[in-house]
């Protein structure tokens, strides 16, 4: 690939960052439209081969569906998504263990008995690889299988998911579902860009497009109007961030721009004003037993939310809160820990993985024109299946 300097000259000469632009059909929402398209013709054979190989691994995957779970949700409808709160355990002082008690960061093995979240995770990994494979190589095989997976999870009457999360992250003895469960589907904010990447395929039919927009509209309405959705919006920490990082791209994609603007207006103070301290740290995430993981995760949510806000004429990349800090300072705070320059001094009961900051560093390299971030990102080896679009942003 060309050098970072080459891409910097190319990308920053293009009027890509006009925050007042409105999204049109075919425009990416989270991904950088002009950046992706400018890099695409510069990809070398080795890059394309890598993308192709990753996509090929998923040609036999799925189809995934939530009809494979072993027990019905309280509604009796197997099409209702169901999961269990991961950090909740039987109370050892109760004969029946009820109600369950919380042990933050420690996953109860019962959590894995609920297959909906597991299958959803596999679906999103496969769709990312296949959509990327089709977009960069034009191989219709990849698009065909991606469309097959989309239909199975969202559209086919026998296997589809109902557009709600009424029974997400249940806690035995306490609740059959809660707003916190909406974190399970945080990657749904990426769906619009996957659908856009697949939209030129002969396998993506007009009826698929209409049906998927209808499903996402119904799901968005549930997110905005249900009691669970309303709870999650104001929950605080990464849950609030990812609620808006999910609802905003969906609202933009289905053409609900007034709703999107309203969501942005509510989300900005809840995220930027309340979650970033004067030193750039995220206190609500540092309080967790996996403080590094949640800090990196929440930063990625902020960046996703900020990118979607661009379509509404809002520049969050440079916005500061009352402490005089914002997304840039949150990234700067975490960077020396990711690279080993400083040891992580907060609770982290699982292995410290600096590569969780790789994608935010790539994004920071582009948004803040910072070559140091780009160089640091290239030094980190992320544990992921694929290149993923973001990694092209700061140049390869």
pLDDT digits 0-9 by tens, 118-140: 999 999 999 999 999 999 999 99
Q: Which pLDDT band, with edges at 50, 70 and 90, does 14 fall under?
A: very low
Which two tokens mark 309? 């806000």
Residue % of the chain over a pLDDT of 70: 90
Q: What pLDDT does residue 384 have?
A: 54
Kindly tell me if the per-residue pLDDT of 299 is higher than 70. Answer: yes
Place of tokens 């544990």: 383
Q: What pLDDT does residue 10 have?
A: 25
Q: What pLDDT does residue 12 have?
A: 25
Tell me how long the chain is. Answer: 396
- With DSSP H G I counted as helix, E B as strand and the rest as coil, what are the percentages for the chain, rounded to 5? 55, 5, 40
DSSP letters of 313-364?
A: T---SS---TTS--HHHHHHHHHHHHTTSS---S-B-S---GGGGHHHHHHH
Query: Between 223 and 7, whose confidence is greater?
Result: 223
Q: What pLDDT does residue 6 have?
A: 23
Which two tokens mark 243? 């609620």
H or E, element range at 7: helix 4-12
Q: Which pLDDT band, with edges at 50, 70 and 90, does 387 fall under?
A: low
Q: Which pLDDT band, with edges at 50, 70 and 90, does 168 fall under?
A: very high
Q: Which pLDDT band, with edges at 50, 70 and 90, does 90 fall under?
A: very high
The residues pairing with 82 across neighbouring beta strands, listed in sequence order, are 167
The residues pairing with 101 across neighbouring beta strands, listed in sequence order, are 89
Kindly tell me if the per-residue pLDDT of 3 is higher than 80. Answer: no
Antiparallel, parallel or unpaired: β 82-84 and 167-170 = parallel
Q: Classify burial at 48, counting beta carbons within 10 Å of its beta carbon; exposed 0-12, middle 13-18, buried 19 or more.
A: middle
Q: CA dist 369 to 253, 280, 313, Å?
A: 28, 19, 20
Which of 18-27, 145-154, 177-186: highest mean pLDDT? Answer: 145-154
Residue % of the chain over a pLDDT of 90: 76
- CB 190 within 8 Å of CB 128: yes
- CB 179 within 8 Å of CB 171: no
Q: What pLDDT does residue 390 have?
A: 59
Kindly tell me if the per-residue pLDDT of 47 is higher than 90. Answer: no
The residue-averaged pLDDT of 266-285 equals 98
Q: What pLDDT does residue 383 have?
A: 55
Kindly tell me if the per-residue pLDDT of 389 is higher than 80. Answer: no
- CB 271 within 8 Å of CB 318: no
Q: Classify burial at 109, counting beta carbons within 10 Å of its beta carbon; exposed 0-12, middle 13-18, buried 19 or more.
A: exposed
Q: What pLDDT does residue 378 have?
A: 86
The residue-averaged pLDDT of 68-84 equals 91
- CB 220 within 8 Å of CB 247: yes
pLDDT digits 0-9 by tens, 187-210: 999 999 999 999 999 999 999 999
3-state secondary structure 246-314: HHHHHHHHCCCHHHHHHHHHHHHHHHHHHHCCCCCCCHHHHCCCEHHHHHHHHHHHHHHHHHHHHCCCC
- What's phi and psi for 105, nearest 5 deg? 85, -10
Q: What pLDDT does residue 85 have?
A: 86
H or E, element range at 167: strand 167-170
In order of their start, the domains of the chain are: 1-30+236-396 (1.50.10.100), 43-233 (1.50.10.100)
Which two tokens mark 178? 């809660």
Print burial letters for 16-26: b (CB count within 10 Å at least 16), e (below 16). beeeeeebeee
DSSP letters of 101-121?
A: EE-TTPPPGGGGG-HHHHHHH
Kindly tell me if the per-residue pLDDT of 391 is higher than 70. Answer: no
pLDDT digits 0-9 by tens, 48-71: 898 999 999 999 999 999 998 887
Which two tokens mark 135? 């977009």
């Amino acid at each position: 690939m060309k050098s970072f300097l080459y891409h910097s000259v190319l990308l920053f000469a293009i009027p890509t960052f006009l925050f007042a632009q409105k999204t049109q059909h075919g425009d990416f929402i989270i991904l950088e439209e002009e950046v992706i398209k400018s890099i695409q013709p510069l990809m070398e054979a080795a890059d394309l081969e890598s993308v192709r190989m990753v996509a090929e691994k998923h040609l036999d995957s799925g189809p995934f569906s939530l009809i494979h779970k072993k027990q019905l949700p309280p509604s009796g409808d197997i099409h209702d998504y169901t999961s269990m709160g991961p950090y909740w355990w039987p109370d050892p002082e109760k004969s029946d263990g009820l109600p369950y008690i919380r042990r933050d960061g420690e996953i109860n093995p019962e959590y894995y008995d609920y297959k909906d979240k597991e299958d959803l995770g596999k679906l999103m990994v496969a769709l990312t690889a296949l959509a990327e494979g089709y977009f960069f190589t034009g191989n219709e095989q990849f698009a065909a299988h991606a469309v097959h997976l989309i239909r199975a999870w969202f559209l086919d009457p026998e296997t589809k998911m109902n557009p709600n999360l009424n029974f997400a992250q249940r806690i035995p003895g306490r609740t059959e579902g809660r707003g916190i469960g909406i974190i399970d589907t945080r990657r749904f904010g990426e769906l619009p860009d996957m659908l856009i990447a697949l939209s030129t395929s002969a396998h993506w039919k007009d009826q698929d497009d209409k049906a998927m927009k209808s499903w996402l509209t119904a799901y968005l309405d549930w997110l905005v109007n249900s009691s669970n959705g309303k709870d999650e919006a104001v929950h605080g920490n990464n849950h609030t961030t990812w609620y808006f990082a999910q609802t905003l791209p969906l609202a933009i994609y289905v053409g609900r721009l007034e709703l999107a603007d309203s969501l942005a207006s509510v989300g900005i103070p809840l995220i930027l004003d309340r979650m970033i301290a004067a030193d750039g740290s995220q206190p609500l995430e540092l309080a967790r037993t996996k403080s590094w993981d949640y800090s990196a995760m929440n930063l990625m949510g902020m960046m996703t939310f900020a990118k979607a806000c661009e379509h509404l004429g809002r520049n969050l990349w440079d916005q500061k809160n009352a402490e005089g800090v914002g997304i840039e300072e949150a990234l700067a705070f975490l960077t020396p820990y990711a690279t080993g320059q400083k040891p992580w001094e907060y609770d982290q009961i699982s292995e410290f993985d600096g590569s969780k900051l790789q994608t935010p560093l790539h994004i920071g390299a582009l948004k803040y024109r910072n070559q140091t971030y780009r160089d640091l990102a290239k030094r980190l080896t992320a544990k992921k299946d694929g290149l993923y679009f973001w990694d092209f942003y700061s140049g390869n």
